[in-house]
Structure 1
Amino acid sequence: MQLTGPLSINLGRSGGSNRYVNDTRSSAKGRGNTRVKAKEKTGKGKTSKKAAREAAPKVKQAEPRTARTNAGDEECVSVGGRLLRRWTLLTLAGLALVSVGLWQLYSWTTNSQYFAVKEVVVQGEMRLDAAYVAELAGIQEGGNSLAVNMQAVEARLAADPWIEKVTVTRELPDRFHINIVERMPSYWVSHDDQLWYADRFGSRIGPVNSENFTPYPVLMVEEGGEALKSVLADLQNMARNRELPFNLEQAAWVRLSAGSGVEVHFENKNLTLSLDPADLAGSAAGVEAVLGDLEDRGEGGRVRAVHVVRDRVYVSLDQEMDG
């Protein structure tokens, strides 16, 4: 019996084992050839891929930029730092030069005779003396005009009770102008057993003495009359505008009281006029009408008092002159 397949076995006696071995080797050789061919095929595949890779254009991989960027940044920082230091040094040097220049300029202006004070001009004085005002200002002749504190000068002048307003101007290089507005007295007032000048509001200015003696009506404020001091300025304005039937400067005294209002007394006529503080203009018109009527009747010299209350006028006559 004979079998066909990968192995061929002959059951005969002679050389059977050798034929088996040979067939086995032959089969093994066949299998070996098969493996070689497979390897060759596989090798051909690998060779094709490698060839494809070698044939493809080579792409150069980009180098990392981190190191290069850091180096560039450090170089920029270094250059910027040097420029900043140079700029700072130049700035400090410039400031130092400017400071030295300013100091030298200040020293020259404060010591130069070009700015020495030569004249102080005073304007607006009436009762005050110009030399007194210049001395009160404290501006020294020959002193440096730029060193004068203008606010301090104005403060010293404004502290004087006779000066109501003051303006000081500097005219470079060597002149000052002082313009003052004096407080004008309108009354005398008694204070600490001494007569003082008082302005149109009744506020004290300065004591009366022989050097500045000028007579004015004596202002007397009785109980309840403090509230009437506000009409004093109106009374002065009416007198200045000639709206009163009398000359206020010729009055001996002016008295304020709650009961009689505003009283004005004339010593030379022995006449007292009383005005309603609520209506000075109307009261003055009433007094003028009554006095005119009495003068027309020849009785003007007998009048001793005229008292106006609202729309009523009361007249007191000298009884001794009757008959």
Structure 2
Amino acid sequence: MLALIGRKRSKAARQGAAGLVDADSGRVLPRPLRRVVRFTVSLAVGRVPIARHTGTVAAVAFLAATGFYGMSLGGHTQDFTQVTTAAAGFAIDDVKVSGARETSEIEILAHLGLDGTTSLVALDVEDVRGKLAELPWVEEVSVRKVYPGTIEVVLKEREAFAIWQHGNDLSLIERNGSVIAPLRDNKFSNLPLFVGRDAETAAASFDKQFDNWPEIKARVKAYVRVAGRRWDLRLDNGVVVKLPETNIARAMDVLSRFEAEHGLLERDIAAVDLRLEDRTTIQLTEGAAARRKVVLEQRTKELKKVTDRS
């Protein structure tokens, strides 16, 4: 019995020396902490071998961690990644663009911000997509990385429906009336022209009404919005057709009938006023009006001579 107690006390003494037992209370440390304490004691007394250069490696790791932390605080992590990955062979050397009809590749490259050393790894695809989406003609855009050094850009561009003149400015618009970009050249000269305030928002619906009169529609050079209430048509020969606010179909049927029966639009006239339902007014050109005046004066003289003789 005394021998057993002696062995327990001897074991407790060893554990106490190893830090596993609280000498005052006799409590034993939890099992997860025992290994940690044993390793710490062994390390302190030199029983655990330490590899050579461990201190150097630890110092370098500490300095590297400190450097990365400093770059993170200073906002230079992206620059560091850019330089290192580009040097490793991931510099962007090719940009493949598809779907670009009106958007130039020069504009695309300018928004990508490539300088010959830009890294594909460090490239922020979402940032690039957002910048390209701001280009006037771009409706949708996707950007994809193809390692080791290629970017694929796929565009879906907006569709020009007409030209809108507001003041002295000319702009290309979509079918829904949204402005795409200023008109820069004659490339879109075949598109219909809509003139005036609010003309762009009503352009598509108004243009569609003339599908039933294709011969006349083909001769329209401009649709002019008047006071935001009604429209004038300016034809290719300069004739102005004044349409009513409502029941445009009736007015166009009248105009189509006059053209078919009398060739009205081929005559020397300046305007056709169809605003009133019960009458159609024809305005002659200045030359035609002057000639008509001469004819009327001559006819009046002849009638007067006839009257005097009788």
Instruction: Give the TM-score band, short-chain normalised.
Output: 0.5 to 0.7
Alignment partner of 1:305 out of 269, 272, 291: 272
Give 1:116's aligned residue.
91
**Equivalent pair of 2:221/2:236 in contact (CA under 8 Å):** yes
Matches within 5 A, 1:1-323: 74-75=27-28, 77=30, 79-83=31-35, 109=85, 111-113=87-89, 115-141=90-116, 143-178=118-153, 179-182=155-158, 184=160, 186-190=162-166, 193=168, 195-200=169-174, 201-209=176-184, 214=189, 218-221=193-196, 226=198, 229-235=200-206, 242=211, 245=214, 251-258=220-227, 260-272=229-241, 274=243, 276=245, 283=248, 285-301=249-265, 302=267, 304-305=271-272, 307=274, 312=277, 315-318=280-283, 320=288
Instruction: Give the letter for the 1:292 counterpart.
Output: S
Over 3 Å counting, the alpha-carbon distance change for 1:296 and 1:249 in structure 2 is closer
Quick one: percent identity of the two aligned structures?
17
Residue type at the aligned position of 2:102: R
**One-letter amino acid matched to 1:294:** F
Instruction: Classify 1:248/1:299 alpha carbon distance in 2 versus 1 (closer, same or farther; 3 Å).
Output: closer
Measure the CA separation in 2 of the matches of 1:219 and 1:237.
13
Instruction: Return the index of the structure with the highest Cα Rg.
Output: 1
- Higher alpha-carbon deviation: 157-166 or 229-238: 229-238
Question: How much does 1:168 deviate?
Answer: 2.1
What is the root-mean-square deviation in Å for CA atoms of aligned residues?
4.6
- 161 and 145 in structure 1: CA distance in 2 versus 1, 3 angstrom threshold: same
C-alpha separation in 1, matches of 2:278 and 2:137: 40
Structure 2 unaligned regions, length at least 5: 1-21, 40-57, 69-80, 296-310
Q: What is the CA–CA distance in structure 2 between the aligned matches of 1:111 and 1:316, rounded to whole Å?
A: 79
Contact 1:286 1:313 in 2 (8 A): no
Partner SS state of residue 297, structure 1: helix
Cα deviation code 1:5-55 (max 9, x no counterpart): xxxxxxxxxxxxxxxxxxxxxxxxxxxxxxxxxxxxxxxxxxxxxxxxxxx
Query: Secondary structure of the equivalent of 1:230?
Result: helix
- One-letter amino acid of the counterpart of residue 305, structure 1: V
Offset at 1:109?
A: 4.6
Q: Deviations over 1:172-220 (max 9, x none)?
A: 33222221414526214245x5x33231355544444459674755543
Query: 3-state DSSP class of the match of 1:264?
Result: strand
- Distance of 2:281 and 2:91 partners within structure 1: 70
Normalised by the size of structure 2, how large is the TM-score?
0.53
Count of aligned pairs between the two proteins: 226
| TM superposition score normalised by structure 1 | 0.52
User: SS at 2:106's partner residue?
Assistant: helix
**Aligned equivalents of 1:160 and 1:110: distance in 2?**
28
Match of 1:58 in 2: none
Quick one: distance in 1 between partners of 2:123 and 2:262? 68
Q: C-alpha distance in 1, partners of 2:114/2:186?
A: 26
Partner residue of 1:15?
none
CA contact (8 A) 2:243 2:273 kept: yes
- 1:190 & 1:204 partners in 2: Cα distance? 11
Structure 1, unaligned runs of 5 or more? 1-69, 88-92
Deviation at 1:293, TM superposition (A): 1.8
Aligned counterparts of 1:197 and 1:306: Cα–Cα separation in 2? 29
